[in-house]
Amino acid sequence: MHTATGKKAFGPNNPGFAINHKQPQGFNLVEILVLMVIIGSYTAILIPALTKARRQSRSLVNMSNQRQIVATLNCFASDNDGKYPESVATIGLLNEHWNWQEPTMMTSCRSRSPQLRRSLSAYLYTYIGNSTVMFCPNAPKQYRHLQQSWDAGDNWDNPETPQAQDPVVGTYCFYWNYIGHIEGQKEPFIGPKNPLAGPSQSKLLVSDYFGYDHWRSPNAYSSCERFAGTSAVTPGTWVSSDYWSRPKADENLSLFPLGIELHAGYTDGHVDTYLPSQVIPMKVAITPDGSAPYPSELGPGVFYIPISSLY
């Protein structure tokens, strides 16, 4: 074919005609396999790093919560003749006798006296309005009615239950004005009554929950902190939230392999980090003076407190 100028035009019938039929090519099988190996390697590096970063972040939030609780209690004491609020981890009886409950109580069934409050928020709400401050961020799941119960204070009534006054069990242990039974010790654990904490009183105000043989998870360690290795979740109830648990494999299992870091706040404002190997067992007392614990088959088990809190 000729153009008007007499020159041959390039076209399909012209040997000089050239068309580039080269198309973009995808990855072949070898390249895909190499890419998958690279992605897998980066994932193996990044996921543990991200998990560790999240754990460290939650640990910082946890310590911040406990510092706020300690600061709040000292502010409360400053506004109330230098005294901390009474413990709500008690239960009153109709015959005017009363006994202790587990130190994780945020709202009791009833106060041991008409003059005392049955909820922490009745004492502390004007200082802490956000209930998450009172809850360990490392627990598996937050109690579903946490904020509602905190807002309601002494008037809390769980709409899911028939009874008029419902308790609330948290994931921190609250030790001001609390008395516990220490096996083998002459004196019980006595929580601080004021920021000065007299010679017979501990300076421990708040800690992560760490215990053993709770009725919700018999023959197992339990904590708001996740254990190393295999950790089960003990489901919450209508009065409490989930926590982590790990069965005790044998009687010789030490606390060290549990692999958790715990935190505790003290009257002087500092928050300390301690390990499971640095604790002493405390039982809930069935007597007001802490002289006798609940029977093992009936009580809420052992609550581990830092050894340093006794000295």
What's the whole-number average pLDDT of the chain?
86
Q: Is residue 22 part of a domain?
A: no
Which range has the worst mean pLDDT, 1-5, 73-77, 148-152, 232-236?
Answer: 1-5
| CA gap 80, 85 in Å, rounded | 9
Reading the block at residue 190, the tokens are 């006595």
Lowest mean pLDDT among 5-9, 202-206, 228-232: 5-9
Evaluate whether residue 136 is within a structural domain: yes
49 — pLDDT class (breaks 50, 70, 90): low
Range of the domain at 57: 45-310
19 domain-assigned = no
pLDDT value of position 270: 95
User: What pLDDT sits at residue 290?
Assistant: 93
pLDDT given at position 229:
79
* Within a domain: 79: yes
Number of domains composing the chain: 1
Task: Answer yes or no: is pLDDT of 190 > 80.
Answer: yes
Q: Per the domain annotation, does 213 fall within a domain?
A: yes
Contact 104, 139 (CB under 8 A): no
Task: Determine the Cα–Cα distance for residues 192 and 179; give it in Å rounded to an integer.
Answer: 10
Is pLDDT above 60 for 14? no
Calculate the dihedral angle through the C-alpha atoms of 124, 129, 134, 139, rounding to the nearest 10 degrees. 160
Q: Is residue 19 scored above 70 in pLDDT?
A: no
78-87, 159-168, 213-222: which range is least confident on average?
159-168
More confident residue, 51 or 307: 307
Domain assignment of residue 16, yes or no: no
Distance of CA 140 to the CA centre of its chain: 8
Q: Is residue 93 part of a domain?
A: yes
Q: What is the pLDDT of residue 134?
A: 97
Whether the model clears a pTM of 0.75, i.e. scores above it, the answer is yes
The answer to whether position 21 is within a domain reads: no
Q: Which region among 182-196, 236-250, 273-287 has the lowest average model confidence (pLDDT)?
A: 236-250
pLDDT at 165: 85
**Amino acid identity of 115?**
Q
